[in-house]
Structure 1
Amino acid sequence: MNRLLVILILLLGSVVVTPAQAATTITVDGTQGGRTYDGVGAVSGGGGNSKLLLDYPEPQRGQILDYLFKPGYGAGVQLFKVEIGGDMNSTDGSEPSHMHTRNDENYQRGYEWWLMEQAKARNPSIKLAGLAWGAPGWIGNGEFWSQDMVDYIVKWLKGARDHHGLTIDYIGGWNENGWDRGWFVALKKALRDNDLPTLVVGADSTGWGVADDMVNDSAFHDAVDVLGTHYPCDGANGGGATAYSCHSTSTAQNIGKPLWAAENGSQDFHLGADRMARQIILGYVDAKMTAYINWPLIAALPPGLPWVTTGLAEAPQPWSGKFEIGKQAWTMAHFTQFTRLGWKFVDSASGLLDGNRANGSYISLQAANHSAHSTVIETTRASQPQTVTFNVRGGLPTGPMRVYATNLRSTNPADWFVRKADVSPGSALTLQPGHIYSVSTLTGQGKGTAASPGGGGFPLPHKDDFESYDLARPARYLADQHGSFEVVGCGGGRGGKCVRQMAPVKVIPWQDNSATPYALIGDNSLGDYTISSDVMFEQAASVSLLGRFGDRDYWEVGRINAYHVKVASNGAWSIARGSTSGAMTVLASGTRAALGTNSWHTVSASFQGSTITARVDDQVLGSATDGAYRSGPGGLQVGEWRNVQFDDLALTGGSAATAYKIVNRNSGKLLSTSGEEIVQSSDNGSAAQRWRQDGTALINVGSGKALDVPGFSTTPGTQLIQWTPNGGANQQWTISSAGGYSTLTNSHSGLPAEVSGSSTTDGAPVVQGNATGGRNQQWTLVPAND
């Protein structure tokens, strides 16, 4: 063989050939058609998830609202749905009805009116929607699908208009409870009869079977203006959703009505960002859905509830003003800040990158007058860079286009919603993996700069005589979970104002449960404390003061990990330990003289170490010893669906549950949370870096969630997460000390917690690993109740 040829072969064999980047050409043509864009937005409700936002001080409250609603500043919500309150738990709390009884009407209750007003003031173009999750028990004698419920909704719509100047653009039926065709027909007739321009969404449940019924029932077809389904993308709602594809049916697509993802999301405010990007884009590419509504708007609720970090932002500390804007908010901004309601999708410029779903997907939209156009692209599953080239024609602007990008794989907010170099038609844009991009001729985008103050635990003493509130308003920091607790004029011969549980009969629930009314106050910083309240029974009933609330069953919302100090109007009393399993362990009980009705008595419950003491009118009823629960919020509970009044609510005395900084020996960094994940980070004073011991569990002070090995994994290298406390062995840790340092060993896997790769970098993952005795597996627990 020729020597030169041999040399060439050898040289070529040594060359590393780099795989070619995937390339896509996107042609945005103004002459091409598509459906009308109805917006991207969020839900307040379903339920109680916005309550603590109302209690925030200024300027923080206004800053949070700007991040949610103000155009060109943050999430820029375009389509805002709220719950029509029904006095019942609808996931993370309950929201008050405008009609507790058939003869009662009040259009100032709760906070959804206020929140819609704030949204509309910041963005007059925003569209508003309403939906009921349940209803007061008087409706239809317990039947939701009734004329009573039609009338109830019509009165709510007219209350919004007449008392708040709000036009509700869309109205639904019964959240995730199917549909009744005749009821929707009756609702549509009532809207017309009352000159209400509101459009009807059918049917806010899962699947597209509503379209099949509409085809077979012309009256039902004419009554429904928008087909809205819930969670139409891959995976169940919540952490398991993948959103690798989205779904509708040919019947739905051809029925001639808009299709909406009327509720989607249910994701952590940081970790769900990649799924949100896919849900919105693939929602149109795969299923022709023209609106996306994220559940929920914000996580502004007490700890220990099922979805405490879910939404666009987190705001659980009104007493400190602390808040955090999530990566999901900036993902939403990639759509809302680059579109306007009423634009048209460009079907020929929407699809999959290089025809490969794993590379990513994109949608393009144009202004109705051809004055602007935008393309949003996601590369959330991509493994290598790609290029796109834009062609623009058909009367659309052909000048340079602005480019904004968010690195969805970064935990650094500086990498979110960043303006990049402009790109011109015909030029190539390089797309990095794990990103979302907006490419647009629109201007006016922005990223708000308001910063949160540092956090802090619930301040003691807390005393509230309720005199500072208007009537029918909720009390500060008191978060209704079932029933409705609101400010009224006191009864029983007492002047001034009190809080009254307003729902007199069992409600029509979203999901049936056996719970009775209760409300929570405080956070996980509360360890040893006394909760007290004056109480007046309007009828024979019982009340409980709750202490050290830590967790709740999802469906049976009255099954809670908490202590109950219960006193009945007939004088019976008890101290009990509740649990999410439904077990109620009585620790002490007895009977005293009847308290009767229409007279006031002071009830208190003290939690000091493992001792629980019950008192009425400063008389000790009894005490019990139990160490199951160490810290958590307090609360008020009414044992039956009765009207009971409370006054002079106080949380006093005691000491905070001991909190710890857990410091890695190798890096000097702290065990911290980042969304759902556990990482190390420099000390910034936040509650996300503080932990308390609850038995053998380690509970994060900021979130109330437990240090957890996901999926009961026994694999070294598995990153640790925080998760709702459930008592599982994967949430139990043995803390063994030697040489001045401690090892945190998981009880299920037998593997210790370590900083991956002995990294000293902020954000490095904390994983479980094979025991080596290395410095990256050694920790110091430093008391941190400062």
Structure 2
Amino acid sequence: MHARRANAGRRLPALALAVVLTAAGATAVNAPPAQAATSIAVNGGATGRVFDGVGAISGGGGNSRLLVDYPEPQRSQVLDYLFKPGYGAAVQLLKLEIGGDANSTDGAEPSHQHVRGDVNCNVGYEFWLGEQAVARNPDIRLIALPWAAPGWIGGGNFWSQDMIDYDISWLNCAKQHGLTVHYIGGWNERGHNKTWYQNLRSALNANGYGAVQIVGDDSFGWSTADDILNDQAFRAAVGVVGAHYPCGYLGAATSCPSSANAVATGKPLWASEFGSQDHVAGSAPYIRSITRGYLDGQMTGFVNWPLVAALYPNLPFSTDALAVAPSPWSGAYRLGRSLWANAQVAQFTQPGWRFLTGSASGYLGGNRNNGSYISLKSTNNTDYSTVYETSTASAAQTVDVAVTGGLSGGAVHVWSTDLGSANPADWFVRQPDVTPTGGRYSLTLQPNRIYSVTTTTGQGRGTATSPASAPLALPYSDDFDAYASRTQARYFSDMQGSYEVRPCAGGRTGQCLQQVTPIRPIEWQDDSDAFGLVGDTTWNNYKVSVDVNMQQAGTVTLLGRANTQLRPQGHQAAYQLRLANTGAWAIAKSTTSGTLTTLASGSRGQLGLNTWHNASLSFSGTQITAALDGTTLGTVTDGSYAAGQVGLGVVGYQTNMFDNLSVTANNGGGGGTVGAIRGQGSGRCVDVPNQSQANGTVTVLWDCNGGANQSWTLTAAKQLVVYGGKCLDVANRGTADGAAVDIYDCNGGTNQQWTVNSDGTIVGVGSNKCLDATGGATANGTPLEIWTCNGGSNQKWSMS
């Protein structure tokens, strides 16, 4: 926080204490800055709507997938930061997806009933996540909502009795897990069917869920409110009016209206989905959505999408969340500034509190450009909290606060977050307490901050820290035998359909991975092949193999170097081996535009059904080789994708099986995904001298020692990354022979992109020149440069 000098020419109101909130804390001064003060009367007798809570969504979809596979203690640390009161975000509302076997943004959430009547209450990870949330905060309120549904529902009709029965069976499963669901929605962002909502209300009442309120309708706009005012039966069915992104989608959230009809319903109004922004950069719109959502639209519940980005980084929205957890094998995670924005509300309020009206909530100086604030009163009728945001202010703001109406006149505790700082040490910082005089005090608020001022106690900032991120090491394998039937395989993330561990068929004992969605689901976004991804996006030169068993006629797919995915999920950049039961095969390339190009094709004898075969794809630089049962099918050359995950799939929804997945480094192409870059001529490694992380540090040769300054990752964007964020860089974007090779913050420039070739050369994309040890020298300290490729041993490297 940045201190501003007070203007000594202005006197304080009588009996008031002025406090300037600065980087050093709260400091009493003789006078606040010249900025006109905002007079605030926090009157406990002037109450407004009931506060329903702030929270987030697990679902829509697959965004929590990897969290369950995190090791301890990191898994519990992330969960504590999300749910534990007085520790982190302290989420008060948690929306869980009712899975439907179809992709709902970043993956397909598994159904608890893939086929009619076959209920599995232990499916997936949503029930587990709910249990973890309730264990940390028994008062958390749970919401349930489907995005997709199995294809058997209503013969493809979502608005059917089948879907109501499906929801009830999901609630029964939740009850088996000890979960009390407080709210349930209809169909995410697909409008509403009034009769269906009324029938859902009747079914909830008849099945012991009379206390579960229906949220209508989790779509854009407030048309639900219009229908509520014109239809008494529909009004009786809906408990909460929820709209998505009422402050605008991916916008600044400076204005957050509802509608006159929405307010006139008298129902609680929610921003039942908002956010969809980066875990750090989205923090200012995050807090504005809450404060201004109440001020502009009388909204009382706020649910961010999503809770956690525990998903692979090549998927859409990979950093949108409160916390980012993409690396279960290393346990690494990152906490967002938005997590602490949520904490600035949730650690100072509780559902059931009431908003205070009049000047207790409003815009600073009556001008929304100065920032906004909300005040809420506890159910004990004594404690209160005020949350200020100055995210749009250009100057410091002073508030003169008078506390009346039975509220405590004692000391207030102050916490703040600097929305302009990238340093986590400036997020959710405890400031010195302020003691009012005669129930009055003044505060000067710095621009671009959140402040929470409260008479309550119990706030806190967790102390757990993440380990360093590391890639998933090769070799990697999974024979699926260690899992119980009908569970998910570790790290395997469904993109479409559902893959579960089931007993092997075809005369094989043990467990296999099977695609278990038998028909096309009722989808939320476009259809695609049923496939899933696993592994590290930095894997580059490797061989992936898997045993396949075709239960039905059709085609299986083996993916390699699975790279960026755009929406919908069929827009997956990857290489594929496609094998039909007829014996037809193809090596293909899919792109982020959804284009599938055959690079090579042919045919061999029929594979047959319910028989086992081994398929493989091998990558060495730009060379790609496919094999079946140890016999090469074909080899192609293509340099579109330098690195990426592996994947398994079927074309359609065949219930085929897979076993013995194996990924091994292909040493012929330099092998490995991360580690040392070793010079062929010198035997020494590419090294950042003295472990410096300063931009512009020229790299050199040095004895290989396994240090972090010699550990490089080849990313899907063809970057060679050290320290997790510094790229191997040609200084000043040089392209001439002799241009120095240094490290620099990764920025996407072609001078930071490298093609790692099977002949050992590492060629700059921007220069088309080779990474070179200067003058062919081999000694420690030899600087690195780029030079016209000449086949010398000082231009040959291996990654290990």
Residue of 539, 560, 563 corresponding to 1:550: 563
2:413 to 395, 402, 423: 402
Letter in 2 for 1:266: S
Matched, 1:158 2:172: yes
| Contact 2:474 2:672 survives alignment (8 Å) | no
Change (3 A) 1:97 1:704: farther
Of the candidates 34, 38, 43, which is equivalent to residue 52 of structure 2?
A: 38
3-state SS in 2 of match to 1:52: helix
Find out whether 1:488 has 2:502 as its counterpart: yes
The one-letter code of the counterpart of 2:694 is K
Count of residue pairs the alignment pairs up: 700
**Residues 1:209 and 2:234 are matched in the alignment:** no
Number of the residue aligned with 2:163: 149
CA distance in 2, matches of 1:622, 1:351: 69
- Answer yes or no: is 1:170 the counterpart of 2:169: no
Please state if 1:133 is matched with 2:147.
yes
Q: Is this contact kept in 1: 2:268–2:300, CA < 8 A?
A: yes
The answer as to whether partners of 1:735 and 1:743 remain within 8 angstroms in 2 is: no
- Structure 2: which amino acid aligns with 1:414? A
Question: Partner letter of residue 654 of structure 2?
Answer: R
Deviation at 1:20, TM superposition (A): 2.1
Identify which of 639, 652, 656 aligns with 2:672.
656
Shift of 1:617: 1.5
Alignment partner of 1:272 is 2:297: no
Q: Is the 8 A contact 2:146 2:186 kept in 1?
A: yes
Residues 20-419 of structure 1 mapped to structure 2, 5 A cutoff: 20-161=34-175, 163-196=176-209, 197-234=211-248, 236-237=249-250, 241-348=251-358, 349-419=360-430
- Counterpart in 1 of 2:763? none
Contact 1:40 1:335 in 2 (8 A): yes
Alpha-carbon distance in 1 for matches of 2:543, 2:231: 60
Relative to structure 1, the CA distance from residue 543 to residue 285 in structure 2 (aligned partners, 3 Å threshold; closer, same or farther) is same
Shift of 1:422: 1.2
* In structure 2, distance between residues paired with 1:27 and 1:698: 56
1:81 partner SS: strand
Supply the AA of the counterpart residue of 2:556. V
Q: 1:376 to 1:19 in 2, by over 3 A?
A: closer
Cα distance, 1:742 vs. partner?
A: 5.2
Shift of 1:542: 1.1
Match in the other structure for 1:597: 609
Report the counterpart of residue 578 of structure 1 in structure 2.
Answer: 590
Secondary structure of residue in 1 paired with 2:368: coil
**Structure 1: unaligned runs, 5 residues or longer:** 1-17, 673-683, 708-732, 754-777
**TM-score, structure 2 normalization:** 0.83
The percent identity for this pair of structures is 50
Distance in 1 (alpha carbons) for counterparts of 2:253 and 2:632: 57
Q: Evaluate the alpha carbon distance shift between residue 509 and residue 216 of structure 1 in structure 2; reply closer, same or farther with a 3 A threshold.
A: same
Q: Taking structure 1 as reference, are residues 201 and 702 closer, same or farther at Cα in structure 2, changes over 3 Å only?
A: farther
Instruction: Kindly state the Cα deviation for residue 507 of structure 1 after the two structures are TM-superposed.
Output: 0.8
Rate the CA distance shift 1:355–1:63 in 2: closer, same or farther, 3 A.
Answer: same
Q: Which residue of 1 aligns with 2:16?
A: none
Q: CA deviation at 1:599?
A: 1.4
Q: Which moved more, 1:735-744 or 1:542-551?
A: 735-744
Displacement of 1:736 after TM fit?
A: 2.1
1:516, distance to aligned residue in structure 2 (A): 1.2
Q: 1: distance between equivalents of 2:113 and 2:622?
A: 43
Q: Secondary structure at the match of 1:358?
A: helix
Q: CA deviation at 1:559?
A: 2.1
Check 1:214–1:657 CA distance in 2 against 1; reply closer, same or farther (3 A cut). same
Q: TM-score, normalising length from structure 1?
A: 0.84
Residue 784 of structure 1 deviates from its aligned partner by: 12
Does the C-alpha gap of structure 1 residues 34 and 475 become closer, same or farther in structure 2, counting only changes over 3 Å?
same
The Cα of 1:738 is off from its aligned counterpart by 5.5
Deviates more, 1:120-129 or 1:347-356: 347-356
Closer/same/farther in 2, CA of residues 229 and 648 from structure 1, 3 Å limit: same
Query: Could you say if the C-alpha distance between residues 30 and 784 of structure 1 is closer, same or farther in structure 2, counting changes exceeding 3 Å?
Result: farther
Q: Which moved more, 1:119-128 or 1:494-503?
A: 494-503
The match for 1:475 among 476, 485, 489 is 489
- Write the deviation string for residues 655-674 of structure 1: whole angstroms up to 9, x where unpaired: 23578999899x962499xx
**Structure 2 counterpart SS, 1:204:** strand
- Please tell me whether the aligned partners of residues 306 and 552 of structure 1 are also in contact (alpha carbons under 8 angstroms): yes
Deviation at 1:178, TM superposition (A): 0.9
Q: Residue 669 of structure 1: which of 680, 689, 694 is its match?
A: 694
| Corresponding residue number in structure 1 for 2:703 | none
Quote the residue 1:630 is aligned against: 642
Q: Is the 8 A contact 2:397 2:445 kept in 1?
A: yes
Task: Return the alpha-carbon distance in structure 2 between the equivalents of residues 324 and 264 of structure 1.
Answer: 21
SS of alignment partner, residue 499 of structure 1: strand
* Partners of 2:725 and 2:508 in 1: CA distance: 38
Aligned to 2:755: none
Aligned to 1:229, the other structure's residue is in SS state strand
Alignment partner of 1:190: what SS?
A: helix
In 2, the alpha carbon distance for the partners of 1:607 and 1:276 equals 43
Instruction: Tell me: CA distance 1:785–1:377, structure 2 relative to 1, closer, same or farther (3 Å).
Output: farther
Structure 2 spans left out of the alignment, 5+ residues: 1-31, 678-685, 698-706, 753-782, 787-794
Q: Which residue of 1 aligns with 2:740?
A: 741
Q: Which residue is equivalent to 2:680?
A: none
Q: Using a 3 Å threshold, how does the CA distance of structure 1 residues 427 and 779 change in structure 2: closer, same or farther? A: farther
The equivalent residue for 2:778 is none
Specify the alignment match of 2:600 in structure 1: 588
DSSP-derived class of the 1:736 partner: coil
Q: Counterparts of 2:150 and 2:564 in 1: how far apart (Å)?
A: 26
Deviation string 1:59-100 (CA, Å, 9 cap, x unpaired) is: 110111000000000000000001000000000001100110
Alignment of 1:560-571 (within 5 A): 560-571=572-583
